[in-house]
Amino acid sequence: MPNLRVRPTEPDANGAVIEVTPKSAGWTYVGFKVHHLKAGESAVGGEQGREACIVVLSGKCDVGVGGRVFENIGERMSVFDDVSPACVYVPADQSFSIKARTDLQVAIGSAPGTGAGEPRFIAPEAISREVRGEGANTRYVRNILPESEVAESLLIAEVITPGGNWSSYPPHKHDRLAPPEESSLEEVYYHRLNPVQGFAFQRVYTDDRSLDETVCVEDGDVVLVPRGYHPVGAPHGYDLYYLNIMAGPKRTWIFNNDPAHAWIAKKE
pLDDT tens, 72-104? 999 999 999 999 999 999 999 999 999 999 999
Strands (E), 25-171: 31-37, 42-45, 50-58, 61-65, 68-73, 87-90, 96-100, 104-112, 120-122, 128-132, 139-145, 155-161, 166-167
pLDDT tens, 213-227? 999 999 999 999 999
pLDDT tens, 143-199? 999 999 999 999 999 999 999 999 999 999 999 999 999 999 999 999 999 999 999
The rounded mean pLDDT for the chain is 97
Burial of 258 (0-12, 13-18, 19+ CB in 10 A): middle
> At 266, is the pLDDT very low, low, confident or very high (cuts 50, 70, 90)?
confident
Task: Kindly list the distances between the CA atom of residue 256 and the CA atoms of 13, 100, 153, 261, in Å, as whole numbers in the listed order.
Answer: 42, 41, 20, 11
Which region holds residue 24: left if phi is over 0, alpha if psi is between -120 and 50, else beta? alpha
> At 2, is the pLDDT very low, low, confident or very high (cuts 50, 70, 90)?
low
Over 80: is that where the pLDDT of 66 sits? yes
Over 60: is that where the pLDDT of 8 sits? yes
How many structural domains is the chain composed of? 1
**CATH number for position 144:** 2.60.120.10
Helix H or strand E encompassing 18: strand 16-20
Measuring CA to CA, which residue among 227, 258, 232 is closest to residue 29?
Answer: 227
Average of per-residue pLDDT across 100-125: 97
Instruction: State residue 201's pLDDT score.
Output: 98
Burial of 174 (0-12, 13-18, 19+ CB in 10 A): buried
Q: What percent of the chain has pLDDT over 90?
A: 97
Over 70: is that where the pLDDT of 1 sits? no
Would you give the DSSP letter of residue 123? -
10 Å Cβ neighbour count for 41?
17
Domain interval for residue 84? 5-267
Burial track 114-124 (b if 16+ CB lie within 10 A, e otherwise):
eeebebbbbeb
